[in-house]
Amino acid sequence: MEVLATQEANGKKLNFISQEIGREINTIGSKANDSTIQRFVVQMKDELEKIKEQTMNVIQKRCSGMVAASEINR
């Protein structure tokens, strides 16, 4: 949430964090020799996709809110 509070939070930081989480998940998956862990990796990837979708929704709402606010100030 602290990332969202900054003016610079135009999605770059959130996208970067999502990418890093994805890399970590992939690393776990590539090193795991256990089917249980592999199932967890698949679940984590599914959840990460949901996070990415939510992130995009937040970014779009913030951007549309900024556009609406700038139109009001005209």
Is residue 14 predicted with pLDDT exceeding 60? yes
Tell me the backbone φ, ψ of residue 34, rounded to 5 degrees.
-125, 135
pTM score, two decimals?
0.71
As a whole number of angstroms, the distance between CA 26 and CA 51 comes to 16
The residue that leads in pLDDT, 48 or 74, is: 48
Split at pLDDT 50, 70, 90, the class of 47 is very high
As a whole number of angstroms, the distance between CA 18 and CA 52 comes to 7
Provide, rounded to the nearest whole percent, the portion of the chain with pLDDT above 90: 51
pLDDT at 66: 61
